[in-house]
Chain A
């Protein structure tokens, strides 16, 4: 087994496969970035060429920053994503802890009920959600989006996290109880740090669909002051004329924050600190 793993040929093949996949995955991003710096004509003449002295332009970025309230959209997207993620992680982890730690009647049923959302796409309920938002007066507020995304993220979060919470050593929690820690302190101070890798996984899974979503912003919050970035970028796509420079620049800028968030979360995946708690 170890011999096979150390074989340089195998290692080369594995790296080749991974590098190929990385190139394929990054190619669209590369094309967007490159073309966002080119003139309109250059984009269509040779989409894959790098920007040169005579084709280089920042016109797309200028349009985006001037036309439309780009920073507001950006801010909206950021608020919706961060708040939804926080709520998903907080409530998801709490529900998962309760399901994993406490024995109560209907524990299993409750777990299944919470996991049901994984199987039923939330978009099926769009009409009902819209009616609810209208009657509660939340249409065209960021809260409408935050609530929907929290609901959308919870089932998977509860499902994944409760599995991980079960693996946290009982002795550790019991040591906390004997030392006089409250159940909340045990949850926040002992258990959460130990399931941080799982939390990061859940965060990454939820973050990108929320950031990219066009459906719910379009239906629940299309007003100018609540537009998200994805919805805001649509103003450059017309029925007859599309300002490709602007679209590509807007998309390039939209990639950045997700990347930063991703880097933050993936750093959490490093387990180091958690080892050594128990044998």
Chain B
């Protein structure tokens, strides 16, 4: 069964079109990540799905029911916000049980669900505290717990990790992945962080300027990007684009080379001067000036000893290169 299906969804604020003709389905149990640069409409799309914003046109179905005119609370969704959005005057327990109380569920059921969710998220010791007495990571877990107790058909996450520091972000990411496996629930997750997108998603939706650029599994998107935008956006450091005529190709076309596929070799086809070196321990990123304002990034495994202004030559595997036409479409 499909957990969510969007048909020709458009949204505009006044004259500004934010979402343009979005078509998308999310299968049950699928983890879908919306990713894109800021202002691409990914958060707006999530708010349209949640019902906090009304779509200008198009149909939204959750679990097979059209929800265009259904208020957020009755859509069978739960949402986790970037800013946690916990109720400051309520304890952790009351924060988690508020929605169930609104639905007039029996007391013992509420208690059982809160206990189960807090056990899953190791919050059992904090149930009587207020949000102000918790750390950032604990607050975000409470926010996730508040969503879990509702047992929704669809979880919506709006950049839930952006306010956490790096170490906590990794832990919470693992926690969300584990939660997804345990609950088997359908989840939609919005982020601009491609590591979160790659590690969590069953299916990535890349958005740009309110349009879906590509939908696919993380590896599909990495290996077979539909166009130059997707190729450049996914992958870190980003893909290099070299004018094809420099490599004996057609004028106007570009050859896309991922940094890890270009390795230093004495008689390589690309020659230039090192302008910056980033030694990360595990890898070394070398930025090379190829002339004509063209900067090329190479990612060398291990620790590679080089310094700025050194002349260097690179070569790459032709089978791993992608070709793009002048408009940025794949050839």
Contact = CB atoms under 8 A, between A and B. Distances in A.
B89 A193 contact: yes
Contacts of A276: 86, 88, 130-134, 139
Nearest to B84: A278
Interface string A261-278: 000000000001111111
B132 A178 contact: no
Contacts of B163: 279
A273 to B, nearest CB: 6
B300 interface: no
B98 A169 contact: no
Given A193-B89, A273-B132, A277-B87, A180 B73 contact: yes
Nearest to B98: A179
Interface stretch (B19-27, B75-83, B242-250): B75-83
Contact of A180 (B50, B103, B132, B139): B103
B52 A177 contact: yes
Contacts of B146: 175, 179
A177 B52 CA distance: 8
Interface string B105-138: 0000000000000000000000000111110100
Query: Interface size class for chain A?
Result: 20 to 34
A194 B83 contact: no
A199 to B, nearest CB: 15
A278 B81 CA distance: 10
B85 interface: yes
Contact of B83 (A169, A189, A193): A169
Query: Interface size class for chain B?
Result: 20 to 34
B235 interface: no
B88 A277 contact: yes
A42 B72 CA distance: 74
A121 to B, nearest CB: 39
Nearest to B97: A179
Contacts of B85: 169, 171-172, 174-175, 277-278
A273 B132 CA distance: 8
B102 interface: yes
A194 to B, nearest CB: 7
Given A178-B50, A273-B132, 11 more contacts: A169-B85, A172-B85, A174-B72, A174-B79, A175-B86, A178-B72, A180-B74, A189-B87, A194-B88, A273-B130, A278-B85
12 contacts: A174-B47, A175-B86, A178-B72, A178-B73, A179-B73, A179-B99, A272-B132, A273-B89, A274-B88, A276-B88, A278-B85, A279-B163
Sorted nearest first, the 4 A-B pairs with minimum C-beta distance are A276-B132, A180-B73, A277-B88, A179-B99
